[in-house]
Amino acid sequence: MVAKSISLLPWLQNYISFLFFSFTTIFFLLSILLLLLRFWPWCNCHVCKAFLSSSWTAEFTNLSDWYTHLLRRSPTGTINIHVLGNTVTANPDNVEYMLKTRFDNFPKGKPFSSLLGDLLGRGIFNVDGDSWQFQRKMASLELGSVSVRSYAFHIVTAEIRRRLIPLFASLSDGVIDLQDVFRRFAFDSICKISFGLYPGCLEASLPMSEFAAAFDTASRLSAKRGTAVAPALWKLKRLLNVGSERELKRAIRLVNVLADEVIRQRRELGSASSHDLLSRFMCSVNDDRYLRDIVISFLLAGRDTVASGLTTFFLVLSKHPAVTAAIREEIANVMRGSGDDDVASFEQLKKMHYVHAAMYESLRLYPPVQFDSKFCVEDDVLPDGTFVRKGTRVTYHPYAMGRMESIWGPDCEEFKPERWLHDGKFVPASPFKYPVFQGGLRVCLGKEMALMEMKAVIVSVVPRFDLRVLDTGRSLKFAPGLSASIDGGLPAQVRRRRSPAHGPC
């Protein structure tokens, strides 16, 4: 009897630990389920059902086109995606209200900084209050100064002359991915302008193409978090380090290596006498982690947006030969008397109103930042009467706004540079109707620089080359990310033209 109970003991022990294990597992799973249920919003409305089941994809290829469709049909120009707790607006009065009038009630907010926090940290895009004010002041001193603008122009023209034109020329009759070319160009330019570094120097110690890929991955996966119906889900994935969160973590680690290297090299070169943005920040920031966040924000600001703007410009242009001809004519007129090999001077660029109009027009239809969100602090009512409860994510949608009949008239979907010209002079629109560079207190700080950069490229490339976007048979799809990019790139055929700078087309 005693012997029997002794031999039973290990079995009992096993049994109890098994029971214990099962109970904790079941308890754990149940609490996760409860957590999900609590935070998983249910909604049966038409729009939410289409969103949750992805049934909108039957009619639309790109999410932004579906939103545009919904916003057009809304009498106020505002919709609500209940399951995301997201109010989306294309109404200029609302946009002015959130970006200017009631700026303090619509900050980036906590939820946003947790979505992008792992990538952007305390960088300017991701913060409010003092930290934002400090970075904004430093950066606007830098980007607003005349000497920095002419320095930037000098860098951009050198880059065009030495790399971009020779690259296109070497490819005559060949095929190239325009998106890739413009990303490299924008990356090299922003590195020199913001950090005073030649990416060639970075290349020697780091594999740059891997960084570019890591940057794209990090931007895409961070943006993907924002479309999750239940934030608890990605947070759980991050906790367990699985799936896309694991991939994101790896990408961010690589991006950090690049940023650290930028800081190290800048320090080695000495920052006291330099006039780049990073040197300015280094004089007053000792915290390397903070510096890293600043570097990443400026890389992101300067690379993807400009590359996106240029890529879609040439996409639109290749479908509009008459506009191409008019651009060539204006360039030839302004540059008459300059040598064939010359790239336009800053003064010459300023005289090209038609090119400027064409650029604004393509950014209207293809804004690099398709939508942008803030979080409402206190209950509020937008000018169109929409009530927003505190904590709601409120999004303005430049992509949809560029395609609203109520803003641009019945020809809103047509590419017409003339709409920006009055007596041959370019006239801008209100930033709240055209929030491509945002508007109000946080308006883009790189706007003038970005426009100069794009214009310099357009004016050098259009007269010299025919870029014909190839019809690959697939419909062009936007890839999700913080700024608009085309899934799979934009292959185009390059053909050199006979007379580079002269003669109308």
Ligand X SMILES: *[C@@H]1O[C@H](CO)[C@@H](O)[C@H](O)[C@H]1NC(C)=O
Q: Does 311 bind ligand HEM (CB under 6 A)?
A: no
- Contacts with 3 (C-beta within 8 Å, 6 or more apart), sequence order: none
In sequence order, what are the beta bridge partners of 373?
Answer: 395
CB 200, min distance to ligand HEM, A: 20
Give the whole-angstrom CA distance, residue 137 versus residue 140: 5
CB 434, min distance to ligand X, A: 19
* Angle (CA) 75 482 295, round 5°: 140
Beta carbons within 10 angstroms of residue 204's beta carbon:
8
In sequence order, what are the beta bridge partners of 394?
Answer: 87, 374
- Mark the binding-site residues, compressed into ranges: 444
Q: Cβ distance 452 to 356 under 8 Å?
A: no
- Contacts with 389 (C-beta within 8 Å, 6 or more apart), sequence order: 376, 379
Q: Under rule CB under 6 A, which residues in 21-60 are in contact with ligand X?
A: 60
Question: Which listed range, 176-184, 241-249, 430-438, 497-505, lies at the site for ligand HEM (CB under 6 A)?
Answer: 430-438
Nearer to ligand X, 389 or 477 (CB): 477
Residue 251 interacts with, from ligand X, ligand HEM, none (CB under 5-8 Å by kind): none
Nearer to ligand X, 89 or 179 (CB): 179
Task: State which of residues 171, 269, 476, 479 lies at the interface with ligand X (CB under 6 A).
Answer: 476
In sequence order, what are the beta bridge partners of 426?
Answer: 421
The SS3 assignment for 482 reads coil
Residue 125 interacts with, from ligand HEM, ligand X, none (CB under 5-8 Å by kind): ligand HEM
The beta strand positions in 33-147, using DSSP E, are 78-81, 86-89
Q: What is the number of the residue whose Cβ is closest to ligand X? A: 61
Q: Does 62 bind ligand X (CB under 6 A)?
A: yes
CB 265, min distance to ligand HEM, A: 19
Q: Does 306 bind ligand HEM (CB under 6 A)?
A: yes
Q: Under rule CB under 6 A, which residues in 431-470 are in contact with ligand HEM?
A: 436-438, 442, 444-446, 449-450
The SS3 assignment for 383 reads coil
**Closest Cα partner for 438 from 370, 357, 348?**
370
CB 64, min distance to ligand X, A: 8
Nearer to ligand HEM, 50 or 361 (CB): 361
Q: Does 478 bind ligand X (CB under 6 A)?
A: yes
**Both tokens of residue 131?**
């930290």
Nearer to ligand HEM, 50 or 186 (CB): 186
Nearer to ligand HEM, 136 or 246 (CB): 136
Q: Does 139 bind ligand HEM (CB under 6 A)?
A: yes
Nearer to ligand X, 83 or 484 (CB): 484
Residue 478 interacts with, from ligand X, ligand HEM, none (CB under 5-8 Å by kind): ligand X
Task: State which of residues 218, 394, 412, 486 lies at the interface with ligand X (CB under 6 A).
Answer: 486
Question: Which listed range, 195-203, 324-332, 366-374, 472-480, lies at the site for ligand HEM (CB under 6 A)?
Answer: 366-374
Q: In whole angstroms, how far apart are CA 74 and each of 68, 69, 80, 108?
A: 10, 9, 10, 25
Q: Cβ distance 310 to 182 under 8 Å?
A: yes
CB 389, min distance to ligand HEM, A: 22
- Contacts with 249 (C-beta within 8 Å, 6 or more apart), sequence order: 118, 238, 241
Give the whole-angstrom CA distance, residue 353 versus residue 337: 19
Q: Does 65 bind ligand X (CB under 6 A)?
A: yes
Task: State which of residues 120, 124, 262, 278 lies at the interface with ligand HEM (CB under 6 A).
Answer: 124
Nearer to ligand HEM, 126 or 318 (CB): 126
Beta carbons within 10 angstroms of residue 226's beta carbon:
20
Q: Under rule CB under 6 A, which residues in 75-104 are in contact with ligand HEM?
A: none
Q: Does 361 bind ligand HEM (CB under 6 A)?
A: no
Radius of gyration over every alpha carbon of the chain, rounded to an integer in angstroms: 26
Q: Cβ distance 436 to 386 under 8 Å?
A: no
- Mark the binding-site residues for heme, compressed into ranges: 444
In degrees and rounded to multiples of 5, residue 476 shows phi and psi of -70, 130
In degrees and rounded to multiples of 5, residue 87 shows phi and psi of -95, 125
Residue 62 interacts with, from ligand HEM, ligand X, none (CB under 5-8 Å by kind): ligand X
Name the burial class of residue 10, with classes exposed (0-12), middle (13-18) and buried (19+) by CB atoms within 10 angstroms of its CB. Answer: exposed
Residue 65 interacts with, from ligand X, ligand HEM, none (CB under 5-8 Å by kind): ligand X
Amino acid at 118: D
Question: Which listed range, 155-163, 296-304, 326-334, 377-385, lies at the site for ligand HEM (CB under 6 A)?
Answer: 296-304
Q: Does 125 bind ligand X (CB under 6 A)?
A: no
**Closest Cα partner for 309 from 135, 497, 444?**
444
Give the whole-angstrom CA distance, residue 371 versus residue 393: 12
Q: What is the number of the residue whose Cβ is closest to ligand HEM? A: 446
Residue 136 interacts with, from ligand HEM, ligand X, none (CB under 5-8 Å by kind): ligand HEM
CB 18, min distance to ligand X, A: 55
Amino acid at 487: D
Q: Which residue has the tokens 């106020």?
A: 76
- Ramachandran bin of 48, using left for φ above 0, alpha for ψ from -120 to 50, beta for the remaining angles: alpha
Q: Does 136 bind ligand HEM (CB under 6 A)?
A: yes
Nearer to ligand X, 415 or 426 (CB): 415
Residues that bind ligand X (CB under 6 A): 60-62, 65, 475-478, 486
Residues of this chain that interact with ligand HEM (CB under 6 A) are: 124-125, 136, 139, 298, 301-302, 305-306, 309, 368-369, 372, 436-438, 442, 444-446, 449-450
